[in-house]
Amino acid sequence: MQDQQPVGVLPRHLRQVRVERVEDWPDGVHIHAKIDTDEAACPACQATSRSVRERYQRRLADTPLGATPVWILLQVRRFNCLNTACSKRTFAEQVPDLTVPRGRRRQPRAAFPSLAEVPHR
């Protein structure tokens, strides 16, 4: 038996991140993930930066697995924008289709049909 979950069975929205571990907690399934890149682009000026200012965790509500809530605990980095002409001095990295600035629920939900829409046998 392998402990490692094959990457191919990860839901599509999680393939852009590195899933470090999955835990079963009383409040639901916790998927611990981080973004697997060295740099990020400033949303204001598009300049890339590798200068990490801080790291923190975001808790995103994912689509429930039946009655079980699913939480994505995503480690996010805040970068310094090194472009002195840019109005943003820092910015948080985002994952397309997974995070939106200051959003707690991943977007867009319409792209990922809920389990309720799958025909039941």
CB of 119 to Zn ion, least distance (A): 47
CB of 91 to Zn ion, least distance (A): 7
Other beta carbons less than 10 A from residue 25's beta carbon = 9
CB of 83 to Zn ion, least distance (A): 5
* Contact between 40 and Zn ion per CB under 5 A: no
Query: What are the angstrom distances between the C-alpha of 82 and each of 44, 55, 86?
Result: 12, 18, 8
Binding mask 73-102 for Zn ion (x = CB under 5 A): --------x-x--x-x--------------
- Smaller CB separation from Zn ion, 45 or 100: 45
Query: What are the angstrom distances between the C-alpha of 65 and each of 1, 47, 79?
Result: 24, 38, 33
Q: Is the dihedral of CA 50, 53, 31, 24 positive or negative?
A: positive
- Kindly list the residues in this chain that would bind Zn ion in the complex (CB under 5 A): 42, 44-45, 81, 83, 86, 88
